Structure 1
């Protein structure tokens, strides 16, 4: 599993909670986790997130009975969701990958693997089980 971290310049709080994705299988290139291009790694992360989104959608479409303590906890957080929400439109996995790759090419975010910035989508990268993959969203100044 590779730890995924999301940050934005100028913000202390993370954009999302950290999460993990499975490592690519060993492809015989001699390194655990195998070598793959940055393009393939970003696509793998996006596809994993689309799958997780679909799973949350299915879960949230079911009506759940909440215990009094679950209601109190949710109310303290400011939102009680018993489920039963209609499903959102279907997410096209390939479009999501294309948007993510286009955002990287347009300089909207940086990718840092184990403290090293990655600049080339077609460069080979290696990830290990303890690797940290950081997506750093850049903030542009008005008029710049």
Structure 2
């Protein structure tokens, strides 16, 4: 399945991701579970890649001049939420209308209604942005 994400008001366009969806996924709630697992795995992969790429920044070099020791500043790595917490947030955001979901061009409005999910389906997630003062 192709998953497209877009933020309303962001001119960067759509981000496309290919996500393997098991055949037994038949509701939006189950589909959100698959997407949350996919995103958590991608987050962990990016963190590992960033850990492997260690480049001294200008701030690191400036600190080294003063201390005589050149190296990276140690920063606490953000940990991802648990699957249960992340899924609860995704469901709450859907229920609160913070994003819309469209499966093959049709809006999905209910988390538990059956969905015609196919391997060649396209799911578009559109995140809404609140306007200030409105």
TM bracket, shorter-chain basis? 0.7 to 0.9
For 1:4, the equivalent position in structure 2 comes to 3
Q: Which of 17, 20, 27 is matched with 1:19 structurally? A: 17
For 1:69, the equivalent position in structure 2 comes to none
Q: Secondary structure of 1:91's partner?
A: coil
Q: Aligned pairs, how many?
A: 116
Q: Does 1:61 align with 2:77?
A: no
Q: Deviations over 1:54-112 (max 9, x none)?
A: 122122222469xxxxxxxxxxxxxxxxxx97632243121111101100000100000
Q: Secondary structure of 1:124's partner?
A: coil
Relative to 1, partners in 2 of residues 1:61 and 1:126: Cα closer, same or farther, differing over 3 Å?
same
How big is the alpha-carbon RMSD for the aligned residues of Structure 1 and Structure 2? 2.3
Q: Deviations over 1:10-68 (max 9, x none)?
A: 333236x31111021x34xxxxxxx5111110111011110111122122222469xxx
Q: Which of 120, 124, 127 is matched with 2:114 structurally? A: 124
The range that moved more, 129-138 or 102-111, is 129-138
Q: Does 1:39 align with 2:25?
A: no
In the alignment, structure 2 segments of 5+ residues that lack a partner are 56-73
TM-score (norm 1): 0.69
Larger Rg: 2
For 2:63, the equivalent position in structure 1 comes to none
1:60-139 equivalences in 2 (<5 Å): 60-63=50-53, 87-139=77-129
Contact 1:61 1:86 in 2 (8 A): no
In the alignment, structure 1 segments of 5+ residues that lack a partner are 28-34, 66-83
